[in-house]
Amino acid sequence: MPTLAILDLGSNSVRMMVNRINADGSYEVLDRRQEMVRMSAGMGDEKVIQPDAIDRTMVALAEFKEIYTTFDEQVHVRAVATAAVRQASNQAEFLDRFKETMGFDLTVISGDQEAVYDFKGVMNSLPVNDALILDTGGASTEMILVKSGKMVQRISVPIGAVNITEAHLEKDLVSAKSLFNALTATNKYFHDIAWLANAVNLPIIAIGGSNRTLAKIMRHRRNQLDLPVHGYQMTKDEVDDIFAELLGDTKAERIEIRGLSKARGDIIIGGVLPIVTLLTIIDSNKVIFSQSGIREGVLFATIEELTNQHVLNPEARQLTVDAD
What tens digit of pLDDT does each residue of 1-30 get?
A: 789 999 999 999 999 999 999 988 889 999
Q: What is the DSSP string of 49-118?
A: --HHHHHHHHHHHHHHHHHHHHH-TT-EEEEEE-HHHHH-TTHHHHHHHHHHHHSSPPEEPPHHHHHHHH
Q: Where in the chain is the domain with CATH 3.30.420.150?
A: 127-289
Q: Where in the chain is the domain with CATH 3.30.420.40?
A: 3-111+293-318
**pLDDT given at position 324:** 46
pLDDT tens, position by position, 51-109: 999 999 999 999 999 999 999 888 999 999 999 999 999 999 999 999 999 999 999 99
pLDDT higher than threshold 70 for residue 317: no
As a whole number of angstroms, the distance between CA 238 and CA 256 comes to: 19
Q: Identify which of 78, 147, 77 has the alpha carbon closest to the alpha carbon of residue 108.
A: 78
SS3 label, residue 236: helix
Strand partners, 289: 206
SS3 label, residue 274: helix
127-289 carries CATH number 3.30.420.150: yes
Q: Between the CA of residue 158 and those of 60, 111, 188, 312, what are the distances in Å?
A: 25, 9, 12, 33
As a whole number of angstroms, the distance between CA 70 and CA 219 comes to: 35
Q: Identify which of 118, 151, 150 has the alpha carbon closest to the alpha carbon of residue 137.
A: 118
Q: Identify which of 107, 31, 114 has the alpha carbon closest to the alpha carbon of residue 65.
A: 31
- Calculate mean pLDDT across residues 181-204: 97
As a whole number of angstroms, the distance between CA 118 and CA 295 comes to: 8
**pLDDT given at position 310:** 83
Q: Identify which of 303, 306, 289, 307 has the alpha carbon closest to the alpha carbon of residue 125.
A: 289
As a whole number of angstroms, the distance between CA 289 and CA 216 comes to: 10
pTM: 0.94
Contacts of 197 (CB under 8 A, 6+ apart): none
pLDDT interval class at 50 (50, 70, 90): very high
Q: Looking at domain 3-111+293-318, what is its CATH homologous superfamily?
A: ATPase, nucleotide binding domain (3.30.420.40)
As a whole number of angstroms, the distance between CA 290 and CA 131 comes to: 13
Element housing 120 (H / E): helix 111-123
